[in-house]
Chains A and B, each alone.
Chain A
Amino acid sequence: MYEILKNLDRRWIFLAMGLAVAIPVLFQLQFPETSSALSEACFNEIENLQPGDRVLLAFDFDPASKGELEPMATSFVRQCSKKKLKLYFMTLWPVGPQMIDEAIDRVIRTDFPEMIYGDDYVNLGYKPGYEGVIKVIISDLKTLYSTDARGTNIDQIPMCRGIDNIRDMNLIINVSAGYPGAKEWIQYAATPYKELPMIAGCTGVQAALLYPYVPAQLPGLLGAIKGAAEYEQLVNDKYDVQAGLVTPPRYLEAKRRMGPQFVAHLLMVGLIILGNITYFLQRSHERRHS
């Protein structure tokens, strides 16, 4: 047994992990979710806003992190649309505009056809410049954004009139996959301007780095797909379950992806225990031979 474990080809582990993820996806395994304080904080920050309040949705992610971040982006847009907030989309990532378009298609065009582009939501698109963009638009939006993503002059967009900079927003929501992302928004927007609240959803890799900012600089944080599933549940409970409606499957993405997580994590724990057993076996084996 010890010899088998010691010389186990890592490809068997890849295969086991592949099956641990593929089988729950095939059988659509799902588990109930309970919310944590951080996901509730995210939910409440939006819920406490009044209809007509302005929200900046910065979608700083790309297709590589779509699996983790798309469900929370969808839920953010859904809750903001339900609350009748004014949505200002933007991104600091070159492939971000496609993520914004998909979220608008999936939520606004499908379930909120009454929302009018330019009156209720606007897509400001992508700007290169990393944190430099945040640094500029925190004091003057129109220096960088002379037009929206469609090329319309920003002064001709009704909901952009009267906005000098992003300090005019009531909340910043950032969905972040790395640099530039939540950390930069905290550094250049939320920290220097305390009156500008911010919440974020991020990838698992980033989550551990963002926890130190909670709660003073970042009141709410959704960490990876688990955070997304908790927040998704809160939004669905409020707007579907309490209203006696059935949640459409496209708003259950995060919950669906927690099934594979559960099985894969069980496998991971099993492998870590197995690895430790092998280590102790090896140590006793060496002691016996010395």
Chain B
Amino acid sequence: MNDRRKLWAAGWLVFAIWLLYRATLGAGTTYVMQSPAGNWVEAAPIDYAAGVAQFSLIRTLGVWIAAFFTLCILSTMYRDNPFYRFAEAVIVGVSAAYAMVVAFWSGLIPNLFGKLWPAWIQSWAMPGLSAGREDYWWLYFAPLVLGAMLLWRLAPRGAWIARWPLAFIVGTTAGVRLIGYVEADFLSQINATILPLVARETVNQPAAPGATPPIDWGQSLQNCIIVFGVLSALVYFLFSVEHKGLVGKVARVGTWVLMISFGAAFGYTVMGRIALLAIRFEFLFDEWLWLIDPLGRRTGIF
């Protein structure tokens, strides 16, 4: 064992002893209490100290497992390791299984089988469902048949049958999305860019009736930036004209506009990622290690 490994081993040993010490103080434990409605809800350690809550082994295990997986994922920042790979595999597996089960109970059961055979589904799966069929209930045989055809892909022969429902999915999705984009992202955006370069104040109306309101310099500047920013960015993507002379200069401005928007997007992304890191640290320091108590859940007891 080289010195570096010894140092790491010693570090982990110290951390494990300290963790054990924190655990003896109660860190990482979770409590539950019965709400007036009768269901079990999470309780604070002060509720446990007051005798109205009880220790929850399952939820406590959940906190420790969550802390373990958080550390496993963060460990990849040092280097790739088996703990990270393990956590990654668990996330992928659990997510896939969860999505499949949820889609079955939220989609297939109520929206397909529940429409075709409502009385049968009501009898064993969804007591709240109406037993009567809708008018045109037989239309739901179409998605049932298409779904079965899609699953045919798994069969050893006749995989081509799956291409028909796939073509239907591609066609309908393209159609639906095209309409959405044309209306919201094309026409509405053109409309939003047609702005007066000289804007007039709307709040401070002039005293004399019929007189022109004063110029709103801030709004005018904002409108000019939007109009010229959009036009210059569009000129940058005009590849059928050589970027020389006036076109070249405008395209250059367009590059700057694009760079500024990329910078703003990057800044926002950084902010998002830091927020995610902050909540993981908050979880580790508060719920797991009991080093901080931002919600006042342990006031006076720890």
Contact = CB atoms under 8 A, between A and B. Distances in A.
Nearest to A217: B188
A148 B106 CA distance: 10
B123 interface: no
A155 B134 CA distance: 14
Interface string B84-106: 00000000000000110011001
A17 B102 CA distance: 37
Interface string A1-37: 0000000000100100110011001101000000000
Candidate in B35, B98, B278 with the most chain A CB atoms within 10 angstroms: B278
A98 to B, nearest CB: 11
A25 B269 contact: no
A216 B281 contact: no
A205 interface: yes
Interface stretch (B199-207, B238-246, B287-295): B287-295
Interface string A199-234: 000011101110011001100000111100000000
A181 B296 CA distance: 34
B212 interface: no
Contacts of A150: 128
A78 interface: no
B183 A192 contact: yes
Nearest to B126: A151
A105 B275 CA distance: 23
A191 B188 contact: yes
Contacts of A131: 176-177, 180
B192 A212 contact: yes
DSSP majority for the A interface? helix
B106 A205 contact: no
Nearest to A263: B274
B130 A153 contact: yes
A28 B176 contact: no
B107 A26 contact: no
B275 A261 contact: yes
Nearest to B127: A151
B276 interface: yes
A125 B109 CA distance: 14
Interface in A97-119: 105, 109, 113
B183 A250 contact: no
Contact of B180 (A187, A209, A212): A187
A67 B275 contact: yes
Contact of B192 (A18, A65, A184, A216): A216
Interface residues of A, number: 66
Contacts of A223: 268
A201 B177 CA distance: 22
B113 to A, nearest CB: 12
B47 interface: no
B280 A146 contact: no
Nearest to B107: A128
Interface string B109-141: 011001000000000001111100000000000
Interface of B: 35-36, 41, 77-78, 98-99, 102-103, 106-107, 110-111, 114, 126-130, 176-177, 180-181, 183-185, 188-189, 191-192, 261, 264-265, 268-282, 285, 291-292, 294-296
Q: Which 4 A-B pairs have the closest CB atoms?
A: A204-B272, A67-B279, A187-B180, A204-B268
30 contacts: A21-B274, A21-B278, A22-B281, A25-B278, A25-B285, A28-B292, A65-B276, A67-B276, A67-B279, A68-B272, A95-B98, A126-B102, A144-B111, A147-B110, A150-B128, A187-B181, A188-B180, A204-B272, A208-B264, A212-B192, A213-B184, A217-B184, A225-B271, A226-B271, A256-B282, A261-B271, A261-B274, A264-B270, A264-B274, A268-B270
